[in-house]
Structure 1
């Protein structure tokens, strides 16, 4: 049957950070008189984020946390691990950064994203977001003028389920009232955005924007190296 629904990942698929996390955190710290190395902040953030997601998956929802609390903890621990000892400065700094990442200030639309969304819409496809993001995503998409393309935005926070759990894709299919074989997903992560939707019975495309070797586990026909390629792929039979 004809494809009816196209779901999208967001981070590093439609939107990306304007600057690396370390540089953004460093700039805000500097405003407050704190000198912190951006490289140390980048390394610390990755470590803290990974550990926090392992200990408190999906923003700690099942453990009674809010995504706001989860993120403020991550940012605070990032600065502590990077050597900041001024506890009086850490909390307001973390709160300010949380608010900054609610806006388009720190995000930019990837090249080709607007054109791809427009083209897919003109093909008659309904579109939605399926993302491991928190409640801020809808506002970010609105400020970036991308929200108008989507029937709905399903974040892991709103769904209570995070990719690669198949439940989040099944919830999207239920919201759209389409069968799995009538839907496809686009994203940049092999496990979350390629493998999981296929396990849920959907089609999927893996976005690989860099020049590394193509993912060997993915047929070449399922890989797109630019968003401009997507509409051409969708005109073909999706196996």
Structure 2
């Protein structure tokens, strides 16, 4: 059995997921302003705009003088521009509305097994925290989705100033909890940013991998979670 005292968690696609594709949410917002754009086109434009913004201003422009709200506003406006919408007034309104919409449980849902697993981990007295490449809306989103109370701390890359796989965000979690890395484990769905990054600081790590997703060659089967409900059995086996 692994002697663990701390569990840190990724959020997006580990505990929470979007209720619908980004393109659908953006298209609905556009319709509310009398603008018709295809969700598929918006989805493609979003990926392009988000990628470009992330390269220019990593980690929500933290350290480059941008607030995350301004960062996201630029992404939203560019997404619509790439899809042929150019009216500045409408773009500004849609950017504001979408920024606030994505802060609520209306756009996020809890993954199957997440609440039950977190609850069982709390009953076993694990110290738990969040380590996420998210902006500072995350506390509110977790509260709205009724998950915030499971965690002793929530670390976002915007707050800390470093994004996974940077080891410093994991080191901050270890400092906050006062737990040495060999008594800590991280749970996430990304091989590089979650699994490998946590192991690089000496933590244990579990990779959430739904059936049908590609297998990573260096991940032993006892570190792979087909669902979150498998976690405690794997900890007890380890």
TM-score range, shorter chain: over 0.9
Partner Cα distance (1:188, 1:80) in 2: 32
- 1:80-95 matches, within 5 Å, as 80-95=81-96
Tell me the residue number matched to 2:215: 214
Which runs of structure 1 show a deviation greater than 2 angstroms over 4 or more consecutive aligned residues?
A: none
Deviations along 1:171-191, one digit per CA (max 9) or x if unpaired, are: 000011110101000000000
1:210–1:69: structure 2 CA closer, same or farther, 3 Å change rule? farther
Deviations along 1:154-200, one digit per CA (max 9) or x if unpaired, are: 00011111001000000000011110101000000000010000001
- 1:103-118 matches, within 5 Å, as 103-118=104-119
Question: Tell me, which stretches of 5 or more residues in structure 1 are unaligned?
Answer: none
Tell me the residue number matched to 1:166: 167
Give the structure-1-normalised TM-score.
Answer: 0.97
Partner Cα distance (1:231, 1:75) in 2: 40
Tell me the residue number matched to 1:69: 70
User: Could you tell me how far 1:212 is from its partner in structure 2?
Assistant: 2.5
> SS at the partner of 1:129?
strand
- 1:70-149 matches, within 5 Å, as 70-149=71-150
Partner Cα distance (1:73, 1:48) in 2: 9
Deviations along 1:82-110, one digit per CA (max 9) or x if unpaired, are: 11122221111011000001111100000
Give the structure-2-normalised TM-score.
Answer: 0.97
User: Could you tell me how far 1:236 is from its partner in structure 2?
Assistant: 2.0
> SS at the partner of 2:106?
helix
Partner Cα distance (2:93, 2:65) in 1: 23
> SS at the partner of 2:237?
coil
Tell me the residue number matched to 2:32: 31
How many residues are paired up? 237
> What's the RMSD between the two structures over aligned residues?
1.0
Tell me the residue number matched to 2:23: 22
Partner Cα distance (2:11, 2:181) in 1: 20
Question: Tell me, which stretches of 5 or more residues in structure 2 are unaligned?
Answer: none
Partner Cα distance (1:136, 1:13) in 2: 17
Tell me the residue number matched to 2:12: 11
